[in-house]
Structure formats: C-alpha cells, structure tokens
Amino acid sequence: MERLTAIATRAAATIRQCGPGLLRLKADGSPVTAADEAAEAVILQGLEQLAPQIPVISEERSAAEQVSALAGSTYFLVDPLDGTREFVSGRDEFTVNIALIDAGAPILGIVTAPAVDVTWRGIVGGGAELTGKGTRTAIRTRRRPAHPVVMISRSHLDADTKAYLANLAGGSAVSCGSSMKFCRIAEGSADVYPRLSPTHDWDVAAGHAIVVAAGGDVRTAGGSALIYDTPQRLIPDFIARGDASAE
C-alpha cells in the first residue's frame, strides 16, 4: 500500500508541475490535458516496476489503444486525473485514482488530491485511512443522520439525480467534482452519493473500494452489485452509502 501511495503521490506532483494547460476533447467528448497524460505515464511506469505481472487499464491509454477488458482477472484500474474539468477551471476537486480489481470487484483503492496534498486509501476488509502532511488517521463511515449530506456531481447533475434528491427527506446537497465525493462518505462527513447516469469503471473503482473499506456500500440504483469489466467499461448507475443499512 505504501508503494502504491507513493506512485499516486508522484503522479499528483506531476499534475501540479504541469498545470492545466490546454484542454482538448477526446473522441468520446471527455476532456483531456497534457497533465492527464503525464500523470498516466508516471503511474504506468511505477506499476510496471512494482508489479509487472499485473495488467493495467488506464483511462488515457485505454482510449488510445482500446485495451480489452480483463473479465475475472486481477488488474489495476487507473484514472490519472479524475475531474479534469475542475482542474482546468481552477478548483481543488480533482484526484489521482488507482484501484486493484480482483474477480470483477475493487479490493483496494487509492485517491490522492493533488491540490490539497492528501490521500484517502483503503483495503476491503482491512479498513481505510486518510494520510498526508505527516499524519495518518483511520476513517469510518457514519450512521445516516436525520438530515443526510448528499454528494452530487458538479458537472453531471441530471434529472434523475434531482428527483432522487427531492425524494430524500431532509437531505442537503453538496456539489463536488471527482472521486472526492466517495472520500467524503468514507471519512464520515457525507452520507450518500447518487450517480444515476453512466460513468466509466476508472471513475468509480478506487472510491468504491475506499467506501466499502470504511464500512459503507456501493451498489446500483436497483440494489445489485456493480459490474466491472464490461466491453465498454461503463457502469450505468450507482448509489454510494456510508450507512449500508439505510435506504
């Protein structure tokens, strides 16, 4: 875990050094910058040195090379810069995401926030923690309060999510970019994160692992387990909950 965290930290430093630069759109319409690609290069090199036997699926390389899905196998799943729009706009809400997938489910997650120089990390069954600035603190999700805090996407707020919010009694919404939404739930400062439109595996996996490691749950809107490894690497929807017993 320490060596994986060091890789994420090096990628975060690379992002800070690059700065936002010019934004361009990929074939699927999603944004990318030179910082995305530079951070990915750092991560791929680090993972190759650390665990050369474990394959890697990473967002930018996947888009360029159409890496085939690795159904049922063990592999790293990487988003070198999650929250590119927030990064370019000057917000702090962007992250480096590294997950380890085994048998179709994330079992380890690391989310590093370059702008604030902290890392959330967790191993399913082994707990979660917040590290950075010389400190390390165990984190845990909280029981659902009477007035839950609901994390919503700053860039992808759709009609279904608005309807979900309207039906959640006493809930208050907080907009945020990137996988930091998962991390707020894992550390017990928020309660629910509904994403009711499709998003890619690499946007979800690291945060998913951290929430589960911290005592929470991440399932589809219908209540079933998330399915990774599809050919499109898309997850149709999900709801992350700090209190797995709450509806």
Express each pLDDT in 159-174 by its tens digit: 898 899 888 888 899 9
2-18 and 34-50 helices cross at what angle (nearest 10)?
A: 160
The average pLDDT across 173-192 equals: 97
∠63-68-35 over CA atoms, to 5°? 30
Q: Which of 134, 94, 135 is nearest to 114 (CA)?
A: 94
Residue 178 has pLDDT above 90, yes or no: yes
Identity of residue 82: D
Phi, psi dihedrals of residue 218, rounded to the nearest 5°: -135, 115
pLDDT digits (tens, 9 = 90+) for 93-131: 999 999 999 999 999 999 999 999 999 999 999 999 999
Sorting pLDDT into bands at 50, 70 and 90, what band is 32?
confident
Which of 81-95, 105-119, 147-161, 182-196 shows the lowest per-residue confidence on average (mean pLDDT)?
147-161
CATH T-level fold of 2-139: Fructose-1,6-Bisphosphatase; Chain A, domain 1 (3.30.540)
To the question of domain 149-241 being in CATH 3.30.360.10, the answer is: no
The residue ranking higher by pLDDT, 100 or 88, is: 100
Q: What is the pLDDT of residues 132-145, one digit of tens each?
A: 988 999 999 999 99
Average pLDDT rounded to a whole number, residues 208-220: 98
- pLDDT confidence bin for 22, thresholds 50/70/90: confident
Of residues 217 and 20, more confidently modeled: 217
Closest CA to 113 of 204, 177, 43, 42: 177
Residue 217 to residue 135: CA distance in whole angstroms: 26
Share of the chain above pLDDT 70, in %: 95
Domain boundaries, the chain: 2-139, 149-241
- Name the average pLDDT for the chain: 92
Distance CA(3)–CA(23), nearest Å, equals 31
Whole-model pTM? 0.94
Helices (DSSP H) in the chain: which residue ranges? 2-18, 34-50, 59-65, 84-89, 159-167, 180-186, 201-213
